[in-house]
Amino acid sequence: MARRGGRTPTTDGRGRRVRPGGGTDRAAPDRVAPERAASDRAASDLAASDRSGAARADTGRTRESGRSRANGAPGGTVADRAPARPAAAERARRIREERAARRDRLRPEKRDGPPRRNDLRFKLRRRIALAVAVLAVLVALGGGFWAVLLYTGVAEVEQVEVTGTLAVPRDSVLAAAAVETGVPLATVDTGAVAQRVAQLPGVGTVQVSRGWPHTVAIEVTERRAVALARTPQGVTLVDATGVAYQPAPEVPPTLPMFGFGAVGPDDPATRAALAVLAALPEDLRARVTTVDVDSPATEPTVRLGLGDRQVRFGSTDRAAQKVAVLVPLLTQDGTVFDVSSPDLPTITR
């Protein structure tokens, strides 16, 4: 094979074309510049092609690694499986999650049923409406029951019972009560009946009640006499409140006789005498025959008569101490026992 000879250079060192006969072509640089630009573009295209091939190779390796992990082959990292998100996107995601969690905390708990059932005001209105409905039902039932008692005749007055009477006649109580039989028991005015019975002289307190379905019950507490008083009507019984309520029987009971005339609940002498009698022990009170009161307008002083003996009790102050001194003092001989000053009691023989 024939060997080719060496090529004759067509350009000099400055990029100018050399003519075959010698010399240079000064217009060569104008033709060399486009050729150099084309060469540069080719080199750039080649580099881009290399990068694209490398990217495809990396993608292939990634897919191969994924298939290897799916098949159980080792290899690969978390960064290979899920590329990291940009920092701004990750921060936005966290903000959205925090806001959603805050809204969930502030939102009322959801339950089955209408949303208004979780409203406190709705619950309160519902309870009030329920209470009103129940009250209306009860009123209707009560009205119906009352109508039955009034107009059907199933609960009419058939008898009047009186208890607690000893000195006051039962017939007097029934007459004062004036309760009609055959009328509806519900229409009986128990307060008015009690007021009428309380006007009887020997009655202290009265309680009137209905005994369903046909009875009116009257319970009387009689006055109990604790003393006697001489009044224009004669000897009168006096109770513990100072009321001279009725004439004493022909044979008066053994009670202390008040020696003053004006007897009443508001009389100072009556109140002082009753206070001293109440402070005495029962056995000593039974021995008292008379009670006199001096200076009732200023400071009442009480004198007690025990037959042929006399006790100067004084005022009602320190009554308990005076009684404590008087009881042993009466065991001694004497006619006048002065305990008006319990610290210095005296006996006159």
Q: How confident is the model at residue 218 (pLDDT cuts 50, 70, 90)?
A: very high
User: What pLDDT score was predicted for residue 286?
Assistant: 95
In the predicted structure, residue 185 carries a pLDDT above the cut 70 = yes
- In sequence order, the β-bridge partners of residue 212 are none
Lowest mean pLDDT among 9-23, 123-137, 196-210, 313-327: 9-23
The mean pLDDT value for 122-146 works out to: 81
State the pLDDT at residue 19. Answer: 53
What pLDDT, in 10s, does the model give residues 260-289?
A: 978 999 999 999 999 999 999 999 999 999
Same-domain pairing of 146 and 180: no
| 196 and 259 belong to one structural domain | no
State the average pLDDT for the chain. 79
- How far apart CA 52 and CA 285 sit, in angstroms, is 134
**Domain end point (choices 180, 206, 222):** 222
Residue 195 lies in a domain: yes
Neighbours of 191 (CB within 10 A): 8
272 found inside a domain:
yes
What is the number of other CB atoms lying within 10 angstroms of the CB of residue 38? 10
Q: b/e per residue, 205-228, with b = 16+ CB within 10 A?
A: ebebeeeeeeebebbbebbebbbb
Positive/negative CA dihedral, 39, 44, 49, 54: positive
The CA distance from 61 to 59, in Å, is 5
Residues 230 and 343 in one domain: yes
The answer to whether residue 250 sits within a structural domain is yes
User: pLDDT at residue 194 above 50?
Assistant: yes
- Which residue, of 222, 249, 276, is where some domain finishes? 222
More confident residue, 75 or 314: 314
Which ranges constitute the DSSP H helices of 199-318?
Answer: 268-279, 282-285
| The pLDDT of residue 27 | 42
In a domain, 32, yes or no: no
CA 263 – CA 270 distance, rounded (Å)? 6
Q: Where are the beta strands (DSSP E) in the chain?
A: 17-18, 24-25, 159-163, 203-211, 215-222, 225-231, 234-239, 244-247, 257-258, 290-294, 301-306, 309-314, 336-338, 346-348
**Any idea what the CATH number is for the domain that residue 210 is in?**
3.10.20.310
The answer to whether residue 40 sits within a structural domain is no
Domain of 210, in residue numbers: 159-222
Please state the domain count of the chain.
Answer: 3
pLDDT digits (tens, 9 = 90+) for 42-81: 555 545 554 555 455 455 554 544 444 444 444 444 444 5
Most confident of 38-42, 50-54, 161-165: 161-165
Kind of pairing between the strands at 290-294 and 301-306:
antiparallel
Least confident of 127-131, 179-183, 319-323, 340-344: 127-131
Q: What is the mean pLDDT of residues 172-176?
A: 96
Is the distance from CB of 18 to CB of 10 less than 8 angstroms?
A: yes
Residues 6+ apart with CB under 8 A from 246: 201, 202, 236, 237
Which pLDDT score is estimated for 73?
43
Q: Which phi and psi (to 5°) does residue 222 adopt?
A: -80, 155
Say if residue 144 is in the same domain as residue 166: no
Question: Does residue 237 share a domain with residue 214?
Answer: no
SS3 3: coil
For residues 235 and 343, membership in a common domain is answered with: yes
Decide which of 5 and 89 is more confident: 89
DSSP string of 252-269, one letter each residue: --S-PEE-SS---TT-HH
Task: Return the percentage of the chain with pLDDT > 70, whole number.
Answer: 69
Whether 232 and 310 map to the same domain: the answer is yes
Give a yes or no: residue 18 inside a domain: no
pLDDT of amino acid 29: 44
173, 198, 222 - which closes a domain: 222
**Is residue 254 located within the same domain as residue 318?**
yes
Mark whether 275 and 206 lie in a shared domain.
Answer: no
Mean per-residue pLDDT, 26-55? 50
CATH number for the domain including 340?
Answer: 3.40.50.11690
Shared-domain flag, residues 177 and 189: yes
DSSP label of 158: -
Please give the model's pTM, rounded to 2 decimal places: 0.57
Q: Are residues 169 and 275 in the same domain?
A: no
User: Are 198 and 244 within one domain?
Assistant: no
Report the range of poorest mean pLDDT among 8-12, 138-142, 303-307, 332-336.
8-12
